[in-house]
Chains A and B, each alone.
Chain A
């Protein structure tokens, strides 16, 4: 059975801190790993990672994938209260019939205190 495990499940830090969120996976026919930020309803796309060792960056956020050890991390530097959200990790598989649906982890609930 496919598994995506995120840690920690919740995290409280102070504004300005740097945080690292973890995502490990066990899936057959892995194709890519995606990160989303969910504040109220719509998960907002952050990154899609397909290759090992290549860091993707967007402002204060960055992410990297390790396909040998089957995990990814999402880093947020100089955190702001607006970064408070649930961060979701999802894995996409290759499928003969077209893309399988994403398999999601339970998410990391990040709270940034002023």
Chain B
């Protein structure tokens, strides 16, 4: 059974640009959550999607957005990149609400 797949694995962007990250959940999983991991703040929740609807959002600015498609694949977009957005972005999928979350390998974003 394939795990959670995130693409790309690495990205280097310039300040002010925008970026789109992709996440394909485990087959059959309908919930996709996104997290940002930095050395200083640890893992922080960005948002969660279920059946194409954003159900919850963490405490991040509006430059961070996402969406989920009918096949449960999800994308995360960050506009007007700042140096502080450099981080490992992790996607997690769950079969349903309140079940265990399984993480992908992450996308390492570097903003220069």
Contacts and interface: CB of A to CB of B under 8 A. Distances in A.
Contacts of A105: 42
Contact of B35 (A95, A99, A101): A101
Contacts of B94: 99
B97 interface: yes
B102 A99 contact: no
A92 interface: yes
A102 interface: yes
Interface in A22-54: 31-32, 34, 36, 41-45, 48
Contacts of B42: 104-107
A98 interface: yes
A94 B56 CA distance: 12
Contact of B55 (A41, A48, A99): A99
A97 interface: yes
Contact of A43 (B33, B48, B90, B108): B90
Contacts of B88: 41
B66 interface: no
A34 B35 CA distance: 15
Interface residues of A, number: 26
A42 B92 CA distance: 9
B97 A99 contact: yes
Contacts of A103: 45
Given A32-B98, A41-B106, A107-B42, A101 B50 contact: no
6 contacts: A42-B106, A98-B55, A100-B45, A102-B33, A102-B43, A106-B42
Interface of B: 3-4, 31, 33, 35, 42-48, 50, 55-56, 58, 88, 90, 92, 94, 97-98, 100-106, 108
